Structure 1
Amino acid sequence: MAPVAQRLFRIKPADMIVAEGGHGEGGELRRTMTLWQLTLFSVGATLGTGIFVILGQAVPKAGPAVVASFVLAAITALFSALSYAELAGTIPVSGSSYSYAYATLGELVAWVCGWCLMLEYAVSVAAVAVGWGEYLNRFFHDLLGWRLPASVTHSPGDQGGVFNLTAILIVLLATWLLMRGTSESATANVIFVMLKIAVLAFFCSVAFTAFNTGNLTPFAPLGVAGVTAAASQVFFSYIGFDAASTAGDEARNPKRDLPLAIVFSLVIVTVVYVAVALAAVGAMPWQQFNPGTTEAGLALIANQATGSTWAGVIISFGAVVAIASVVLTVMYGQTRILFAMSRDGLIPKIFQRVDPRRQVPVANTLIVALFISVLAGFIPLGQLAEATSIGTLFAFAIVNIGVLVLRRTRPDLPRSFRTPFFPVTPVLGVVLCVIVMLGLAGITWLAFTIWMLAGLLAYFLYGYRNSRLNRSVR
C-alpha cells in the first residue's frame, strides 16, 4: 500500500495521458477539427457578452484610455495563453488544464483544477444563458415593440419570474448541436462567430462616422490608476481563449494546431476589443457612459450616430448571437473535461461513454445540459456567477506553474511550441493571476472556498477510491 501523500500527489505521465487521448467506453472521439475551427472555438467562447456589457462599466474608470486598458488586459492574458499553448502542444488532449495539472503537479491538484473548471464552465454558461433571454427581449422590443412576459424570462422570485424558459431554450439548442456531432457543432460556431464579428465591425463603421477626436482628450483623465482599474475589470472579457485546449482529442493535428489556435484567438479578440473601444469613446464623450445602462451601451451609440433605431436592432441581434456562441462552446468544453476526468476514474464512467455512431459523449452532454438548465431556469445565480472568475484564474495559475514543472521534470518531451522568455513568462503569468485574484470581492472568495470544500469531500468519497492511477499502486 503506497503512502496516502504519495498517492494524492502521484503524477500521470504525459506519455500515458497522450496515449489514452480520445478513447472512451463504447468508442473514440473523432478527429475532425481544423486550425480554423479550433481558433474560432476559442474566439466563440471569449467574444461574448463582455464587449457588449463591460465596456460601459470600464469607460467611467479610465476615460478614453479604456483602449489602453484592453491592451494591458490582453498582455496580462497573453502570459497565461503562452503557457497554455506550450502545454496544449505537449499534451494535446481534451482535459485542458486538468490534464496538464495531472502530468505536472499530481492527482489532488488535478482534481482541484478540474473542480474549478466545473464551477467556471457550468455556472458561467448558466449565467450567460440567463443573459441571453434579456438580450432576446431587447431585440424583440427594438424590432417589434413588444417583450416576452417576465414569468418566462426570469427565475422564481426575480421580477415575477416562474421559470426562465428562454435560458433553458438556448441550452437545449446548444445541446442539440453538440449531440449532432463535433464537426456540426464546430460549423455552427464558425457561423455564429462570423456573424458577431460582422455585427461588431458594423458598429465600428457606424461609430466612426460620428468619431470626434476631441472626445479622446484628455486621453487618461483618471491617470494610470484608472487605466489599471479598468484593465482588471476588462480582463474577464478575455476568459475563454483556452477553449481550444478542451478539443485536443478531436483536433486533426493537435500538436501543431492547438498552440496556434490559442494564440491566434487572443490576437483576434484583442483587435476586435480595441477597435470597438476606440470607436465607442470616439463617438460619445466618456462622461456620458452610464454603468447602469451598460447592456444598451453599444446600441445607444449606434442609434445616436445614425439618428435612428435600426442600428441598435442590429447590435442587439449581435448580442443574441454572441451569447448563443458562448453557450455552445463552453458547454462543449465542460463535457470534454468531464470526459477526461471520467477516463481517469475520478468521476463515474457514464461521462466517458461515446456513442459509436455520432462519436460524441451523449450521456455526458445530456447530464451537463440538465444541470445547466436547472441552474439557469430555476435558480437566481446572483454573485455566485462571479466565483467563476476566481476558478478560472486558479486554473490559469496552475497552467503557468505546470510549464515550469514540466520543463524541469521532462525536458525530453517533444514540444511543438515553447513559451518565449522562459521562465519569466510563466512566472509573470502566476504573479498576475494572483494579483487579479486578490482584487476580487470577499463574497467571491467565500463562494470559492465553499465550492472547494465540497470538491475535496467529493474527491475523498469517490475520486480517491476509484482513481485508475492509484488503483495500480495498491
Structure 2
Amino acid sequence: MAIDLTLRQQILRCKPVAAFQADAEHAAGGGLRRTVGVFQLTMIGIGATIGTGIFFALDAAVPEAGPAVVLSFVIGAVTAALTALCYAELASAVPVSGSSYSYAYATLGELAAYAVGWCLLLEYAVSGAAIAVSWGQYLNDLTERLFGFRMPDAIAAPPGAGGYLNLPGAVLVLLCCLLLVRGAKQSAVVNTVMVLVKLAVLALFVVLGATGFHAANLHPFAPMGMAGVGAAASTVFFSFIGLDAVSTAGEEVKNPRRTLPVAIVAALLVVTTVYVLVALVGVGAQPWTAFGGQEAGLSAILATVTGATWPGALLSAGAVLSIVSVVLVVLYGQTRILYSMGRDGMLPGVFSRLSPRTGTPVAGTAVVGVFVAVLAAVVPLDVLADLTSMGTLVAFAVVSVGVLILRRTEPHLERGFRVPGYPVVPLLSVAFCGYLLYGLPLPTYAMFAGWLALALVVYLGYSRHHSRLRTEEAVTALPVVDRTVRR
C-alpha cells in the first residue's frame, strides 16, 4: 500500500545507510557474489582508466595547450585525487553497488540520486562508446603495420571523421558483454591480464620515447597561455574517468570497508604516474604542432623515434588490448549502477534481475550492450567525450558534497577510511570540478541540460511511483529520511 507524500517529500527522501547495508547482506545469499580481492579491484580501477584517453588524448589536447599539456594532466590528476579521497570515504561507509548514485541517495535525496544515476549513464555508457569508437583506429593501425591491410574508414573510423558506421566498436561492445554475463570473477581475471599488458606497453613507450626526447620541443612551453592549459585540462580529464569504477563493485569485493579505499588510492597513484610520464615523453619526442590530426599518436611517435616498425606495432597491439579492458570495465560499472537503481525501483526490475547460475544481471547487461553498441556505431567521438566529461564531473562533485553531508548526518557511522584535511579536501574537489566544467563548450551544456530534462520526465512519470520507499512495507524497512528536517 502506497503512502501519501507530497512531491517535495518524495524528491528529498533519502535511503538510510542501514538500508543499503541490509540490501547488501540480503544479496550475499542470492545476489551479487563477493569474489574480488584488493589486487583485482585495483586492476579494475586501472583498467577502467588507462586507455580511456592516454592513447589518443594527446592528439586532441596538445594543440590546445602545447607542451604545457603536462600541466593539464597534473590539474586533471589533482581533481581526480581530491575526488578519489572522497570516494574512498563514502565507499568504506556505504560499501554497496551503485557508486555515486547510492551515495547521493543516502545524503542528498531521491531526485538528486536519480539525476546522478543519469549522469553515470553518460560517464559509463557514453565513455564506453567513446573508447570503443577509437578501437577501430588502433586496430587498423595494427593490421596495416603487420599485414599491410586496413578496414575501410567508412566502417572503422568515427562518424564525422570519415566513417559512417563504426562496426569494430559495436562488435567490441557486444563481445565484452558476452564476457560479463559469465561472472565478475572471470571478467576480473581477464581484465587483470590485459591491464598488466597495457602497463608494460606504456612502459615501453616511455623508455623508447625518452631516447628521442629533445628539450627544444618544449619551447614555447605554453603557446596558448593558461587558458589553453585549462581547456586542455577539461579535455584530458576524460583520461581520468574510470577511477570510480572501483566503487561500483561494493557488493562483489571481499572485506569492502578496507578493500575499496585501498584499491581506489592505489589505482590513482599508478594512473597519475603513467599519464604524466607518457605526456612528458610524448611532447618531448616530437614538436607540439605535429599532434594535430595525428591518428594513433603514440604509435606514430615510436615509429619516428626508433625508425623501426615493430615498436609502433607493439604499441598498437597494446592499445587494442587496453581499449578492450576499458570497455569491459566501464560496461561492468554501468550494469552494477543500473542494478542498484533497478533494485530501488528507480528503473524497471529487468536491470536488477540476476541469473541464478552466474549471479550476474544478464538481461540488464544485454540492454546496456545494445545501447552502447549503437552509440559506438553512429555518434561522433568528440560529442561522446565532452558529454562523458560533463556527466562525470557532476557525479564527482556530488560525491564530495556527500562526504560533507554524511559527516554531519551520520557522524558515528563506521568508516574504513576518512578523508584527510576535512573539510578542505571535499570543498577543493568541488572547486576543481567546477573549474573543469567551466572549460567545456557551450553545446555540451545544452545537450546535458536536455539529458537531465529527459531524466526529470522519466522520474516524474515512472520512478517516483515505483520507488521502494513509496510503499508502507518498504518504508517500514527503509524509513524515509528528510534531510531538510535535520538542517
State which of 60, 80, 84 in structure 1 corresponds to 2:83. Answer: 80
Letter in 2 for 1:415: R
SS in 1 for 2:86: helix
Partner of 2:263: 261
1:318–1:444: structure 2 CA closer, same or farther, 3 Å change rule? same
State which of 255, 273, 276 in structure 2 corresponds to 1:274. Answer: 276
Q: How does 1:55-454 map to 2 (within 5 A)?
A: 55-153=58-156, 159=162, 161=164, 163-216=165-218, 219-220=221-222, 224-286=226-288, 288-293=289-294, 295-380=295-380, 383-454=383-454
Partner of 2:8: 5
1:224–1:453: structure 2 CA closer, same or farther, 3 Å change rule? closer
Distance 1:235 1:192 in 2: 23
SS in 2 for 1:291: coil
Shift of 1:365: 1.0
1:346–1:160: structure 2 CA closer, same or farther, 3 Å change rule? closer
SS in 2 for 1:146: coil
1:235–1:41: structure 2 CA closer, same or farther, 3 Å change rule? same
SS in 2 for 1:130: helix
Letter in 1 for 2:35: T
CA distances 1:37-92 after superposition (whole Å, capped 9, x unpaired): 11111111111141121123333444443333322321122111111111001001
Letter in 2 for 1:14: V
Letter in 2 for 1:123: V
Letter in 2 for 1:197: L
Shift of 1:291: 1.7
CA distances 1:446-465 after superposition (whole Å, capped 9, x unpaired): 11111111111111111100
Is the 2:129–2:384 Cα contact (8 Å) retained in structure 1? no
Unaligned runs of 5+ in 1: none
Shift of 1:23: 4.9
Shift of 1:229: 4.0
Shift of 1:167: 1.6
CA distances 1:115-157 after superposition (whole Å, capped 9, x unpaired): 1111222122122212212221121112211112345435889
Distance 1:216 1:127 in 2: 30
Shift of 1:213: 3.8
SS in 2 for 1:347: coil
Shift of 1:211: 2.6
Distance 1:230 1:122 in 2: 23
State which of 17, 25, 32 in structure 1 corresponds to 2:20. Answer: 17
**Which stretch shows the higher mean deviation, 206-215 or 377-386?**
377-386
Is the 1:352–1:361 Cα contact (8 Å) retained in structure 2? yes
Letter in 2 for 1:279: V
Letter in 2 for 1:343: R
Distance 1:25 1:412 in 2: 25
Shift of 1:198: 0.8
Task: Please provide the CA RMSD for this pair.
Answer: 2.2
TM-score computed with the length of structure 1 as normaliser = 0.94
Letter in 2 for 1:103: A
**Which stretch shows the higher mean deviation, 344-353 or 17-26?**
17-26
1:416–1:49: structure 2 CA closer, same or farther, 3 Å change rule? closer
Aligned length: 471
SS in 2 for 1:58: helix
Distance 1:50 1:155 in 2: 15
SS in 1 for 2:345: coil
Distance 2:120 2:163 in 1: 32
Q: What percentage of residue pairs aligned between the two structures are identical?
A: 53
**Which stretch shows the higher mean deviation, 134-143 or 20-29?**
20-29
Is the 1:22–1:93 Cα contact (8 Å) retained in structure 2? no
TM-score computed with the length of structure 2 as normaliser = 0.91
1:156–1:313: structure 2 CA closer, same or farther, 3 Å change rule? closer
Letter in 2 for 1:204: V
Is the 1:211–1:279 Cα contact (8 Å) retained in structure 2? yes
Partner of 1:459: 459
SS in 2 for 1:51: coil
Shift of 1:470: 2.1
Distance 2:301 2:25 in 1: 47
1:239–1:382: structure 2 CA closer, same or farther, 3 Å change rule? closer
SS in 2 for 1:45: helix
CA distances 1:357-377 after superposition (whole Å, capped 9, x unpaired): 211111111111122222223
SS in 2 for 1:52: coil
Distance 1:8 1:313 in 2: 53
Distance 1:167 1:283 in 2: 30
Letter in 2 for 1:88: A
Is the 1:26–1:356 Cα contact (8 Å) retained in structure 2? no
1:156–1:432: structure 2 CA closer, same or farther, 3 Å change rule? closer
Is the 2:65–2:228 Cα contact (8 Å) retained in structure 1? yes
Distance 1:122 1:248 in 2: 19
Letter in 1 for 2:150: R
SS in 2 for 1:345: coil
